[in-house]
Amino acid sequence: MLTLQELLGRVEQELRIRNYSPKTIRAYVACLRNYFEHKKNNLEGLDVADIRSFLLTKQSMGYSPQTVNLFLNAIKFFYQEIVQTNQPMNIRFAKRSMKLPVVLNRDEIKSVIASIGNSKHRLIISLAYGAGLRVSEAVNLRVADVQLDELTIHLKNAKGGKDRITVLPEKLKDDLRNCIAGKNSSDFVFASERGGRLSERSAQKVFERALVKAGIAKPATFHSLRHSFATHLLENGTDVRYVQELLGHQNIRTTQIYTQVTNPMLKNIKSPL
């Protein structure tokens, strides 16, 4: 009978072999640790009723459907891939909430960027918006990924382990050239002052401070830059399928949520009040 730590070690090892991202590995291990602490004993024995009870407890505590599904995915991975049980797990995924993304308008984007005094920080925020980057993609960007002459960025091993090409704003060409001058192709574009890459949290703090300085009260996050990129492309008339490709969405329905944010017919309707 393996101990909790030994089981978690096996899970982590299997996830690494399958090339799951470090973020997903950490999340799965944390979810399983939480479930095992709830289960207490016979950890390798599949108890569907106990799993349902655990997930319902998480829901009652106010956990989002996405987080509940993360727990379920981790638990399913353990019993199906590690324990390799033949016992069925007839548990449906929690219905995901369909909240509209928080989008900054073009003037707000300009205000956020203009409020940043540090040139490197201003560049990372500008590039995240102008290329539709996730915070992880921005901080992990390497010099070799930036094609200045072609005005493209080659994002490698992005979310889901996929590569994709996105646009590089021509306005940022000179700033990027200056930023990467003298660096090796394998160096990070946005290095921290202590060496290595800038941390995700540091990049998020740059955005949060800029948002406050610009006087914007919307509950925006760094990811809102990516939401704004997609919305503004659709407003410009870019086909939703091209936006899907630039964002790296597997399912076009994920991209189509931005059409609700940018629907001109809705915005032109006048209230009867």
How many degrees, rounded to 5, is the angle at CA 139 between CA 224 and CA 235? 30
Look up 232 and say whether it is catalytic. Answer: no
Q: What are phi and psi of 191, to 5 degrees?
A: -85, 150
User: Quick one: pLDDT at residue 86?
Assistant: 86
Query: 258 burial class (0-12, 13-18, 19+ CB within 10 angstroms)?
Result: buried
Per-residue pLDDT band for 267 (boundaries 50, 70, 90) equals low
Q: Which helix or strand (DSSP H or E) is residue 206 part of?
A: helix 200-213
User: Could you tell me which of 160, 161, 133, 162 has the C-alpha nearest to residue 146?
Assistant: 133
Per-residue pLDDT band for 160 (boundaries 50, 70, 90) equals low
User: Could you tell me which of 207, 246, 202 has the C-alpha nearest to residue 223?
Assistant: 207
Cβ atoms within 10 Å, residue 114: 12
User: Quick one: pLDDT at residue 202?
Assistant: 94
pLDDT, one tens digit per residue, over 210-260 is: 999 999 999 999 999 999 999 999 989 899 999 999 998 888 888 888 887
Q: What is the mean pLDDT of residues 71-84?
A: 93
Q: 1.10.150.130, 1.20.120.530, 3.40.50.300, 3.40.50.2300: which CATH number matches 4-82?
A: 1.10.150.130
Location of structure tokens 């353990």: 78
User: Quick one: pLDDT at residue 167?
Assistant: 94
User: Quick one: pLDDT at residue 77?
Assistant: 94
The class level of CATH for 106-264 reads mainly alpha
Look up 38 and say whether it is catalytic. Answer: no
Of the residues 134, 164, 197, 227, which is catalytic?
A: 134
Q: What is the mean pLDDT of residues 1-10?
A: 87
142 neighbors 191 (Cβ within 8 angstroms): no
Tokens at 215, concatenated: 């006087």
- Residue 198 clears pLDDT 80, i.e. is over it: yes
User: Quick one: pLDDT at residue 20?
Assistant: 87
Burial 49-88 (b: 16+ CB within 10 A, else e): eebeebbeebeeeebeeebbbbbbebbebbbeebbeeeee
- Residue 269 clears pLDDT 90, i.e. is over it: no
Q: What is the mean pLDDT of residues 97-113?
A: 90
Per-residue pLDDT band for 162 (boundaries 50, 70, 90) equals confident
Residue type, 145: D
User: Quick one: pLDDT at residue 89?
Assistant: 85
Cβ atoms within 10 Å, residue 155: 23
User: Could you tell me which of 47, 103, 140 has the C-alpha nearest to residue 230?
Assistant: 103
Q: Which helix or strand (DSSP H or E) is residue 196 part of?
A: none
Of the residues 142, 164, 226, 227, which is catalytic?
A: 226
Q: What is the mean pLDDT of residues 153-162?
A: 80
Number of residues that this document lists for the chain:
273
User: Quick one: pLDDT at residue 67?
Assistant: 92
Of the residues 159, 173, 209, 213, which is catalytic?
A: 159
- pTM over 0.85? The answer is no
Strands (E), 108-190: 146-147, 152-155, 164-167
Mean confidence (pLDDT) of the chain: 90
User: Quick one: pLDDT at residue 19?
Assistant: 86
Look up 159 and say whether it is catalytic. Answer: yes
Look up 35 and say whether it is catalytic. Answer: no
Tokens at 134, concatenated: 């996730």
Of the residues 58, 164, 227, 249, which is catalytic?
A: 249
Q: Where are the domains of the chain?
A: 4-82, 106-264
Q: Which residues contact residue 6 at a Cβ distance below 8 angstroms, ignoring those fewer than 6 apart?
A: none
User: Quick one: pLDDT at residue 258?
Assistant: 85
Look up 134 and say whether it is catalytic. Answer: yes
pLDDT > 70: what percent of the chain? 96
Look up 223 and say whether it is catalytic. Answer: yes
Per-residue pLDDT band for 8 (boundaries 50, 70, 90) equals very high
Q: What residues are paired with 154 via a beta bridge?
A: 165
